[in-house]
Structure 1
Amino acid sequence: MHHLIRPAACALLAFGLAAGTASAAVTVTYVNTEKMTDVPRFETDRKSMEIDFREFFEEQAKKLPAGQDLKVEILDIDLAGDVFPRVPIRDVRVTQGTYDFPRIHLRYSIEQDGKVLRSGERELADRNYQLNANSYRSEMYHYEKQMLSEWFRKDVLAVN
């Protein structure tokens, strides 16, 4: 039995190392989140939003070719809808589909071996956010994620 464990452990270790080197490094930086146009007002909710978007960018970066790394600076966020403060611990966000569309201002770069392959600054907005098909419908910030996904597909991956 012991003669089977060692080869299996080596194979798992090799697979883990190979999988670790294949994933892209992702750096997401939020520039003055507390001064952004429209983010959650409570610090814990803002931190949760930051983690949510960071995880989203990590998922998107998996689509990059091996060895490429993604760096994103979030300069401003205006979430879809308007906030109506309710009770002291929770706000209500209502979307009407007119002037309250999502907007995100970001700066990005794709790097490989320490060299910048491409970079840019974008002011993303989706005026038709409620009319578009949305594959993130069951997630928080689904309108923003759909907009970011389209940007990533058209602007970042299209160059590859």
Structure 2
Amino acid sequence: MQRINSVVLPVATMLALMGAVGAYAGTATVRFIEPERYADASDRAYNRDEALAVLEGHILDLARKRLPANQQLTVEVLDVDLAGEPERRSTRFYDLRVMRETTPPSARFRYSLSEGGRVLKDGEVQLRDLAYLRSRVTSGSSSALSYDRDLWTYWFKETFVQPSGKASKSSKS
């Protein structure tokens, strides 16, 4: 019986914490418009479907963590140019993207944030981080597409209300 109680307390604590975060559980819909025409579409070292799945997952995660539960974000991605460029001198089993100052990540998209059927904010945005190699302030991660995900994280933080309930200082849209 005591073993059950020791399990119940952590679970109850976890559920209570989840309830506290529950106010932020916004949703998002991401559509990639003509991805075969994107700047990186013809790169052999770039698997478009995998890269777009990573970016989509990141945008969905940002919405879930940073938008109120009653808000819906719709994003139509018009172009993606990933950070770096393919280095072709690698072996046949392995391709590499080399990061240079002249190959920043960029994205062009339209977005609409709505609540209860009412549009709160919308626009068309062109993002580019020309200092991406010197400005790793968000994740500092070396995981897949980290520079590209940082680009979206920065835009999201600057465009939408922060989880602390404070509005951001400016919008880059």
Moved more, 19-28 or 32-41: 19-28
Confirm or deny: 8 A CA contact 1:111 1:117 kept in the other structure: yes
Q: CA deviation at 1:132?
A: 0.7
Give me the whole-angstrom Cα distance separating, in 2, the residues matched to 1:77 and 1:38: 7
| Matched length | 147
TM-score by length of 1: 0.77
Which residue number in structure 1 is paired with residue 142 of structure 2? 138
Q: Which runs of 5+ in 1 are unaligned?
A: 2-7
Q: CA deviation at 1:66?
A: 2.2
Which residue number in structure 2 is paired with residue 32 of structure 1? 34
Give me the whole-angstrom Cα distance separating, in 2, the residues matched to 1:102 and 1:132: 13
Confirm or deny: 8 A CA contact 2:107 2:126 kept in the other structure: yes
* 2:155 counterpart (147, 151, 154): 151
TM-score by length of 2: 0.72
Which residue number in structure 2 is paired with residue 113 of structure 1? 116
Q: Which runs of 5+ in 2 are unaligned?
A: 2-7, 162-167
> C-alpha root-mean-square deviation of aligned residues, in Å?
2.9
Greater strand proportion: 1
Which residue number in structure 2 is paired with residue 55 of structure 1? 57
Shift in CA distance, 88/41, structure 1 to aligned 2, threshold 3 Å = farther
Q: CA deviation at 1:55?
A: 1.0
Identity level (%): 29
Shift in CA distance, 22/146, structure 1 to aligned 2, threshold 3 Å = closer
Which runs of structure 2 are paired with 1:10-89 in the superposition (5 Å)? 23-39=25-41, 41=43, 45-61=47-63, 62-85=65-88, 86-87=90-91
Give me the whole-angstrom Cα distance separating, in 2, the residues matched to 1:84 and 1:121: 32
Give me the whole-angstrom Cα distance separating, in 2, the residues matched to 1:25 and 1:35: 27
Give me the whole-angstrom Cα distance separating, in 2, the residues matched to 1:93 and 1:63: 30
